[in-house]
Amino acid sequence: MSTTPTVYDVAERSGVSIATVSRVYRTPDSVREKTRERVLAAARELGYVPSGNARGLASRSTGVLGLCFPDLSDPDTETEAAAADADDDHAFMLYSDQIIRGMERAARRHGYALLIAASLKGGPESLVAKVAGRVDGFAVLSRTVPTEDLDVISRRLPVVMLAGPRENDELDHLDHIEVANADGQRELTRHLVEDHGLRRLAFVGGEERSPDAQARFLGYREACRAAGLPVREEPDLRAEMMTQAEGARAADELLDRADAAGPPPDAMLFANDQMAIGALHALERRGVRVPDDIAVTGFDGIPLSRLVRPALTTVRQPMRQLGEEAVELLVRRLGAEREREPVDLMLPVSVVRRASCGCGRE
Amino acid sequence: MSTTPTVYDVAERSGVSIATVSRVYRTPDSVREKTRERVLAAARELGYVPSGNARGLASRSTGVLGLCFPDLSDPDTETEAAAADADDDHAFMLYSDQIIRGMERAARRHGYALLIAASLKGGPESLVAKVAGRVDGFAVLSRTVPTEDLDVISRRLPVVMLAGPRENDELDHLDHIEVANADGQRELTRHLVEDHGLRRLAFVGGEERSPDAQARFLGYREACRAAGLPVREEPDLRAEMMTQAEGARAADELLDRADAAGPPPDAMLFANDQMAIGALHALERRGVRVPDDIAVTGFDGIPLSRLVRPALTTVRQPMRQLGEEAVELLVRRLGAEREREPVDLMLPVSVVRRASCGCGRE
DNA sequence: TTGAAAGCGCTAACAG
DNA sequence: CTGTTAGCGCTTTCAA
């Protein structure tokens, strides 16, 4: 128990060479059964586990894929009370959780494990760099890794960027998967206008620098234009964090504005479900009926969206699939298609019509 | 771009020794600034990323912690339609997702990354073994790794078992964290009996071999005994998978039984939230009012439990904390407390009183 | 089917 | 502050 056993120990104990021990673990069939059993027995007795590091070093591969995602919550900020209270989080968390799930499953299918790390600051000794050195390929959620790091890393191993538009000019040699944000919002908007006959729309967006929120806004605008509705340059409101609280506030403000200056909107479109759900609460408090008085829509398709009353009409993002596709892409890059042109996938989204827009079924 | 650059390349290019290159990445402050910048520049130009494998091999540590969790869904079984329909899953998934989250955060706090893998079959070349060889320590969800493998692995690195009781006799040298299942169910039952005056209780459990479900049943029995209620040897019903569908079926069956043979129960206790939620639906269909006609309780505290109507009274399991504690334990084992006695943590749970038991607040 | 020997790319003393 | 020198534990030809 003092020193962890190595191939040498196992070899000695079972009277074979280290090469044979190695073979027992890599290609068991290439070793005579009796020999193999002797080796395995010795390994068991010694408590031998092959060192992944040594294997990786010698074989130049790790059998691990990586994922870097944004660090959403400060690990130290959260008190126990806050944690208990933050059931709200659960829905939010699912964003990266789903990707993790998707990647894990696809990775497993291909015999890979998954290494995950929330992004930290960059720099030589960042977690990112550490991860990069320990995987055969990895996926990066938009804007979680400094461009410069990505540039260096991607020279050494395949990298696929997830969600968000292809941001940086210098990273156009990377594979990239995104979700059809604009398409989804456009189609959703079209639905409100054409199928429900709504015409006084209000759109609540996110930060200008949030590519997803921005793409959704653009989709909204396109639909407005196509429908001959007035087209604004800016969302009616923007929210920093796109939380429920902000959504509630936005709903209130839109209504207050209307009280002061004209008819209220007959539909509020939010750039994500969280805000839409917050708005639902705010409207309920004011006695405004959804969808009778006003339609409300979200974006994301988080589980919560199905459960609130009225159930939220939204656009479902295939996050799990995003994770799976990412792995497929990486695996391909690690195989035959090393040198293929950069891929650019756009995953289709689907409008989920529920009660909050006036559609019948829940 | 042909060969991936190594320390040697960087050293040569920047006119220093490999040792200095190494230092730049490990202890930047021990290198003169000018030298450091020269090295970093060379590294950038070359696209150099330190090999985690080589580092790990040389330093005998990986900076990675691992987690093995059960493989809940067959990766190939799921059609796209099923996936879309399986919103139900979301709640379920949170079980391991939450642990992952907790571990990831705690790990990051300590400078570790997290390697995750759903358990596969055992054997020399299993994913588990692969993972074990690539981490400094790891956490295992109950019954996901064959005892024998665990035994071998735990000789080489710290292992902490999560949830479920300390199963195997031979694994009593491992650290272990569980959740106070029995306590929670006992307290919840006590609440129903003493605070709501309910006396005709029915308990729907899980498989006999599910330690969690079993512990909950035991807690239930203890409370019954303490309250002077009849104590059954077995749950009134057992469910295989503890799904919503099974919960609904169980509620129906309990009521049917009562129709045939006596007064219906005035409370149904389920071994998890999923079943309780299913029961809620079934009861609604039958026109049975909750909590007026009958109280319903769950266990787990999944997000859904808060959202259903009536909101579900349940017992919250601190899964995230479980993950965090696991990391803390591992980190300690990797530090000074290598040889300390095996730890056995029991995380307290909390009863969440909501509408479904008759408590006022949602 | 098995063994011998040469690295894989880095860290870690130890010198200087 | 920087360089030299050994390995770390395995995989991998190449022979036997």
DSSP A131-175: HHTT-SEEEEETTSS-HHHHHHHTTTS-EEEESS----GGGTTSE
Residues A325 and A286 in one domain: no
Could you say which of B53, B124, B303 has the minimum Cβ distance to residue A53?
Answer: B53
Q: pLDDT grade, residue A305 (50/70/90)?
A: confident
Does residue B164 have a pLDDT over 80?
A: no
Chain A residues in contact with B312 (beta carbon < 8 A): none
Computed from CA positions of residues B169, B172, B173, B176, in that sequence, does the dihedral angle turn out positive or negative? Answer: positive
pLDDT in the model for residue A128: 82
- Given a contact cutoff of 8 angstroms between Cβ atoms, the answer to whether B327 and B107 are in contact is yes
CA distance B133 to chain A (A): 4
From A318, A219, A328, select the one nearest A271 (Cα to Cα): A219
Mean pLDDT computed over A76-83: 34
Mean pLDDT, chain B, integer: 88
Q: Look at residue A261 and tell me if it is in a domain.
A: yes
Query: Would the Cβ of B8 be found within 7 angstroms of any atom in strand C?
Result: yes
Q: Which of B53, B89, B96 to mutate to test the interface with A (most CBs of A within 10 A)?
A: B53
Does residue A213 have a pLDDT over 50?
A: yes
Mean pLDDT computed over A91-98: 66
Q: Look at residue A122 and tell me if it is in a domain.
A: yes
Which domain covers residue A231, as residue numbers? 181-318+351-357
Mean pLDDT computed over A272-289: 94
Mean pLDDT computed over B49-63: 95
- Given a contact cutoff of 8 angstroms between Cβ atoms, the answer to whether B168 and B144 are in contact is no
- Given a contact cutoff of 8 angstroms between Cβ atoms, the answer to whether A302 and A91 are in contact is yes
From B298, B301, B304, B193, select the one nearest B239 (Cα to Cα): B298
Tens digits of residue pLDDT in B141-152: 987 888 888 999
- Residue whose Cα is closest to the C1' of D5: B19
Q: Express as a percent the part of chain B with pLDDT over 90.
A: 69
Find the residue in B nearest to A36 (Cα). B124
Tens digits of residue pLDDT in B181-239: 999 999 999 999 999 999 999 999 998 888 889 999 999 999 999 999 999 999 999 99
Q: Distance, angstroms, CA B31 to C1' C15?
A: 17
Residues A269 and A140 in one domain: no
Mean pLDDT computed over A253-266: 92
Residues A74 and A166 in one domain: yes
Strands (E), A181-324: 201-205, 237-238, 267-270, 295-297, 314-316
| Preceding omega of B310 cis (within 30 degrees of 0) | yes
Secondary element (H or E) of residue A14: helix A7-14
Q: How many domains does chain A have?
A: 3
Q: Give the C-alpha separation, A132 to A197, whole Å.
A: 52
Q: Which of B68, B110, B115 to mutate to test the interface with A (most CBs of A within 10 A)?
A: B115
| Preceding omega of B291 cis (within 30 degrees of 0) | yes
Does residue A7 have a pLDDT over 90?
A: yes
Does residue B125 have a pLDDT over 60?
A: no
Mean pLDDT computed over A62-91: 57
From B226, B244, B145, B136, select the one nearest B190 (Cα to Cα): B226
Cross-chain residue pair A133–B49, CB shorter than 8 Å: yes
Query: Would the Cβ of A204 be found within 7 angstroms of any atom in strand C?
Result: no
Query: Would the Cβ of B19 be found within 7 angstroms of any atom in strand C?
Result: yes
Does residue B174 have a pLDDT over 80?
A: yes
Chain A residues in contact with B118 (beta carbon < 8 A): 104-105, 108
Cross-chain residue pair B75–A115, CB shorter than 8 Å: no
Q: Distance, angstroms, CA B112 to C1' D6?
A: 28
Q: Distance, angstroms, CA B58 to C1' C15?
A: 20
Mean pLDDT computed over A61-87: 60
Q: Look at residue A362 and tell me if it is in a domain.
A: no
Residues B323 and B313 in one domain: no
Query: Would the Cβ of B194 be found within 7 angstroms of any atom in strand C?
Result: no
Cross-chain residue pair A134–B90, CB shorter than 8 Å: no
pLDDT in the model for residue A78: 33
Q: Which of the nucleotides in strand D have any atom less than 7 Å away from a protein CB atom?
A: 1-5, 7-13
Residues B297 and B185 in one domain: yes
Residues B174 and B323 in one domain: yes
Strands B64-69 vs B113-118: parallel, antiparallel or unpaired: parallel
Residues B152 and B191 in one domain: no
Mean pLDDT, chain A, integer: 88
- Given a contact cutoff of 8 angstroms between Cβ atoms, the answer to whether A114 and B116 are in contact is yes
Q: Which of the nucleotides in strand C have any atom less than 7 Å away from a protein CB atom?
A: 1-5, 7-13
Cross-chain residue pair B116–A109, CB shorter than 8 Å: no
pLDDT in the model for residue A120: 64
Q: pLDDT grade, residue A299 (50/70/90)?
A: very high
DSSP string, A83-95: HHHTHHHHHHHHH
Q: Distance, angstroms, CA A57 to C1' D16?
A: 28
Q: pLDDT grade, residue A172 (50/70/90)?
A: confident
Q: Give the C-alpha separation, B255 to B259, whole Å.
A: 6
Cross-chain residue pair A124–B25, CB shorter than 8 Å: yes
Residues B293 and B333 in one domain: no
pLDDT in the model for residue B197: 96
pLDDT in the model for residue B96: 83
Tens digits of residue pLDDT in B252-298: 999 999 888 889 999 999 999 989 999 999 999 999 999 999 999 99
Q: Express as a percent the part of chain B with pLDDT over 70.
A: 90
Q: pLDDT grade, residue A102 (50/70/90)?
A: very high
Q: Look at residue B362 and tell me if it is in a domain.
A: no
Q: pLDDT grade, residue A72 (50/70/90)?
A: low
From A311, A241, A314, A253, select the one nearest A283 (Cα to Cα): A253
Does residue A122 have a pLDDT over 70?
A: no
pLDDT in the model for residue A2: 65
pLDDT in the model for residue A98: 86
Cross-chain residue pair B113–A129, CB shorter than 8 Å: no
Q: Residue B167: which CATH number?
A: 3.40.50.2300
> Under 8 Å CB-to-CB from A346, ≥6 apart: which residues?
A177, A178, A179, A180
Residues B301 and B194 in one domain: yes
**Virtual CA dihedral for B79, B85, B90, B93, nearest 10 degrees?**
-30
Residues B94 and B192 in one domain: no
pLDDT in the model for residue A94: 58
pLDDT in the model for residue B2: 65
Q: Residue B38: which CATH number?
A: 1.10.260.40
Q: Give the C-alpha separation, B84 to B252, whole Å.
A: 27
